[in-house]
Amino acid sequence: MAIDYHKLKAWPFGEVEQTYTWKDAALYALGVGFGHDPMDEQQLRFVYEENMRAVPTMAVVLAGPGFWVKDPNSGVDWVRVLHGEQSLTLHKPLPVQGTLIGRTRVTSIVDKGADKGAIIVQERTLHDKASGELLATLEQLTFARGDGGFSQVPGNGPSGGDPSPLAKPAAPEGTPDIVCDLPTLPQAALIYRLCADLNPLHADPAVAGAAGFKRPILHGLASYGVAGHAILKTCCDYDPSRLKSIGLRFSGPVFPGETLRTEIWRDGHRVQFRARVLERDVQVLSHGIAELT
């Protein structure tokens, strides 16, 4: 059954309200590798309540709509969806604790063809409940591999669906300006899942095995957080207010306990990057781009 273009574009997400505390902020930071060196005072500021700061990429786990494509009314073949890209723009530094309102909408649906699937792009804005201020804007690109060809159904949206989103640039060739190696803990996925995604793929060896993995894998958004950690460390001196935006493409799985090497090219306030797993020499994040203030 083809997805209904008009239904998805008007999907009734509703507002999501989430209250979090400094402990939630610290848990997220631990999940993406902060505090690995307990003597590093700069990292400590993200996991210790005294003069604490929030990790900017924590925005990805706040006030979200959950795995909404699993709703049978969406018409999406949810078993075959993949999280393809993630972007985040920060309008203000995230508070260490507070209550946020999340508002989500589907901004575009691209028909790549019956044999190539579809692309669903959703936007989420995060607002401080008390002040109404816009804190962050997130964009998530999902590959719906089983849902291509929907625009061939008469009346089901424009031919080809919406225009394809602009592609993120690939990292330059040659030697990077900065290389940052950050280890992940063997229990990193078990920590990170407490922040947002309870998918058993990241915890249960039997579920991971059925999906074709030798053991549970790390969440893609946890890898995203580790890359954000690398940018924050090497380009922002651990000052969250200096990170304006960060986006990337997911290109391979990471196993908890592996080391992520983030390769960074700087061009003024613009940063391009990619990341690979050292132990297997496999690229896992690509087309990374960040803007600094």
Determine what percent of the chain is predicted with pLDDT higher than 90: 95
Q: What is the CATH number of the domain that holds 284?
A: 3.10.129.10
Given 152, 167, 189, the domain boundary residue is 152
Mean pLDDT score, 37-45 = 94
Residue 2, pLDDT above cutoff 80: no
Model pLDDT, residue 4: 94
Model pLDDT, residue 79: 87
Q: 106 with 208, same domain?
A: no
215 pLDDT band (50/70/90 cuts)? very high
Phi, psi of 97 (to 5 degrees): -150, 160
Model pLDDT, residue 196: 84
In a domain, 223, yes or no: yes
In a domain, 158, yes or no: no
In a domain, 67, yes or no: yes
Q: 95 with 187, same domain?
A: no
Mean pLDDT score, 88-115 = 97
Question: Could you read off the pLDDT of 222-264 as tens digits, one per residue?
Answer: 999 999 999 999 999 999 999 999 999 999 999 999 999 999 9
Q: 138 with 212, same domain?
A: no
In a domain, 117, yes or no: yes
Q: 103 with 146, same domain?
A: yes
Write out the residue range of the structural domain in which residue 258 sits: 178-292
Model pLDDT, residue 1: 60
Q: 64 with 185, same domain?
A: no
Task: Provide the whole-model pTM.
Answer: 0.95
Question: Could you read off the pLDDT of 174-213 as tens digits, one per residue?
Answer: 999 999 999 999 999 999 999 988 889 999 999 999 989 9
Mean pLDDT score, 104-119 = 96
When the pLDDT of each residue in the chain is averaged and rounded to a whole number, the result is 96
In a domain, 166, yes or no: no
Distances (CA, A) of 160 to 151, 163, 200, 221, 286: 6, 8, 35, 29, 26
- Residues sharing a CB contact under 8 Å with residue 156, sequence separation 6 or more, in sequence order: 2, 4, 5, 6, 150
Q: 188 with 116, same domain?
A: no
Q: 9 with 141, same domain?
A: yes
**Closest listed residue to residue 63, CA positions, set 128, 109, 140, 108:** 128
Give catalytic residue positions. Answer: 197, 202
- N- to C-terminal Cα separation, the chain: 47
Q: 196 with 129, same domain?
A: no
Contact 48, 131 (CB under 8 A): no
How many domains is the chain built from? Answer: 2
